[in-house]
């Protein structure tokens, strides 16, 4: 795979994660904010051993163990499907003008087919540009919400703490991409991953904080903190600007799905070079099908349970295996000598 810069890795992972964050439903209290903060810390603690434990490049590993590649492909398919499912569930408040939710998803899938064909390097180059647009829109959003913010609207409920950790984890599918993408980064890999984790947590907390403080009880009407915030934060007087966030919504979903499709394409190509041409359209179809039949809650559960396996157990088991092999090799050479 082509080499990418560390800031590009941060941007790719952040944008993919930001899509999940804007689709978080039903988070209304201080419990969620502290839960999200805790989840982020746990993720940093999980990522550090993953980066330390990984043995060799991911490409080498999947060529040795094809089942590993298949496992990752399945996981990214679920992440992509979850993205479409979230689109369908979050679409009504956003009022997508495409005729019907399925049309909107198909249009996004077609665009993703094109964007993923441009390669992961194009995704890496596009990510910082999209991120800068996203940050500008976020600043406008926060400026609009600033005047409405009222700290007394925060509901103190500690019961939300643990569920929010779980929610945050189930929306962090891009963590599995860290191992694959970190092979392609030139330098400062750990710093890039940590920057992404911190940026994502900051974004999530920011959205939760401002949606709670400016929305209060209104947030229950919509269900999605980010979209409530876009509806409440109107920087211009006399006209509504929330429709402009459709652009952000579309950009983030395309980045999210393109990343999943691009990773599947990359893994499939490494395992079976013949799969290069058809892996992207097939994977997009296999993302749309489960998204149509399953609710995002089901898919998020799958992500939640498989994520520890992918980011901790597999690197750990490969490391142990390598360790055992090296011991065996030493014994063998000792016997020969």
Partner 1 sequence: MTEKNISGTLEETLAQIRHICANSSDILINRITAGGIPCAVLTCEGMLSTAIMTELIIEPLTEIPVQKDSKAFYQYLEQNLLLSLDRPVIRNFDELFRFLYSGFAVILAENQHTALAFGVQGYAVRSISEPSGEANLYGSHDGLTEAVRTNMSLIRRRMKTPLLKFELSTAGHLSQTDICLCYMTDRVPPQMLRQIKKELDSIKLDTILSSGYLQPFLEKCRGSLFDSVGLSQRPDVLCSKLLEGRVVLLIDNTPFALVIPKLFIENFQTLDDYQHKPYYAAFSRWIKYGAFLIAVLLPALYIAVSMHHPELLNSTLLLILTDAEQKAPLSLTTETVFVLLMYEIIREAGLRLPKSVGGAVSIVSGLIIGDAAVSSGLISTPMLTMTAISVIAGFVTPDLNAPVTIMRLLFIIAGGLWGLFGIGLLGMAVLYNLCATETFGFPVTAPLAPFYSRAMRDVATRVNFHRMQFGNFTVEEYHEQNS
Residues that bind partner 1 (CB under 8 A): 1-3, 5, 7-8, 96-98, 104, 107-108, 111, 114-115, 118-119, 121-130, 184, 236, 238-241, 243-244, 246-247, 249-251, 254, 258
Question: Considering beta carbons, is residue 115 or 213 the nearer one to partner 1?
Answer: 115
Supply 318's token pair. 């490969």
CA separation, residue 302 to residues 13, 43, 169, 250, 308 (Å):
20, 18, 11, 24, 11
Min dist CB 235 to partner 1, Å, is: 12
Question: Considering beta carbons, is residue 5 or 148 the nearer one to partner 1?
Answer: 5
Question: Considering beta carbons, is residue 45 or 236 the nearer one to partner 1?
Answer: 236
Q: What are the residues facing 29 on neighbouring strands?
A: 155
Min dist CB 326 to partner 1, Å, is: 27
Min dist CB 238 to partner 1, Å, is: 5
Question: Considering beta carbons, is residue 8 or 85 the nearer one to partner 1?
Answer: 8
For residues 299 and 75, give the distance between their C-alpha atoms in angstroms, rounded to a whole number. Answer: 10
Q: What is the dihedral of CA 214, 216, 220, 221, to 10 degrees?
A: -60
User: Is the separation of the CB atoms in 124 and 12 below 8 Å?
Assistant: yes
User: Is the separation of the CB atoms in 59 and 120 below 8 Å?
Assistant: no
Min dist CB 129 to partner 1, Å, is: 5
CA separation, residue 48 to residues 114, 161, 169, 186, 304 (Å):
34, 24, 16, 18, 19
Nearest Cα neighbor of 12 from 110, 131, 111, 116 is 131
Q: What is the dihedral of CA 251, 252, 256, 261, to 10 degrees?
A: -10
Min dist CB 116 to partner 1, Å, is: 9
Min dist CB 277 to partner 1, Å, is: 15
Question: Considering beta carbons, is residue 71 or 120 the nearer one to partner 1?
Answer: 120
Q: What are the residues facing 12 on neighbouring strands?
A: none
For residues 81 and 13, give the distance between their C-alpha atoms in angstroms, rounded to a whole number. Answer: 17
Question: Considering beta carbons, is residue 125 or 166 the nearer one to partner 1?
Answer: 125
Question: Considering beta carbons, is residue 7 or 65 the nearer one to partner 1?
Answer: 7
Q: What is the dihedral of CA 243, 247, 249, 252, to 10 degrees?
A: -170
Min dist CB 9 to partner 1, Å, is: 11
User: Is the separation of the CB atoms in 127 and 263 below 8 Å?
Assistant: no
């Amino acid at each position: 795979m082509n080499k990418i810069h560390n800031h590009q890795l941060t941007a790719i992972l952040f944008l993919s994660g930001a899509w999940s964050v804007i689709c978080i439903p039903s988070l209304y209290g201080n419990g969620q904010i502290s839960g999200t903060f805790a989840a982020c810390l746990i993720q940093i603690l999980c990522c550090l051993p993953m980066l330390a434990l990984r043995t060799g490049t991911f490409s080498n590993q999947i060529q040795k163990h094809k089942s590993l590649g298949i496992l990752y492909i399945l996981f990214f398919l679920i992440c992509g499907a979850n993205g479409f499912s979230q689109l369908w569930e979050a679409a009504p408040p956003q009022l997508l003008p495409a005729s019907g939710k399925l049309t909107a998803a198909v249009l996004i899938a077609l665009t993703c087919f094109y964007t993923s064909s441009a390669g992961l390097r194009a995704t890496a180059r596009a990510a910082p540009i999209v991120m800068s647009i996203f940050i500008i829109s976020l600043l406008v959003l926060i400026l609009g919400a600033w005047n409405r913010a009222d700290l007394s609207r925060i509901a103190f409920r500690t019961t939300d703490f643990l569920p929010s950790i779980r929610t945050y984890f189930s929306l962090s599918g891009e963590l599995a991409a860290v191992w694959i993408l970190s092979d392609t980064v030139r330098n400062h890999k750990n710093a890039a991953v940590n920057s992404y984790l911190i940026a994502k947590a900051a974004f999530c907390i920011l959205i939760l904080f401002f949606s709670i403080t400016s929305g209060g009880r209104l947030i229950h009407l919509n269900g999605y903190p980010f979209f409530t915030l876009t509806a409440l934060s109107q920087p211009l007087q006399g006209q509504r600007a929330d429709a402009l966030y459709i652009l952000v919504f579309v950009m983030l979903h395309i980045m999210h799905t393109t990343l999943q499709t691009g990773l599947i394409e990359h893994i499939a190509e490494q395992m079976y070079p013949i799969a290069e041409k058809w892996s992207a359209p097939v994977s997009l179809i296999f993302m749309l099908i489960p998204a149509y039949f399953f609710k995002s809650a089901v898919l998020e559960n799958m992500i939640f349970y498989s994520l520890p396996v992918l980011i901790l157990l597999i690197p750990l088991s490969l490391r142990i295996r390598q360790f055992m092999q090296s011991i065996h090799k030493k014994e063998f050479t000792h016997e020969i000598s």
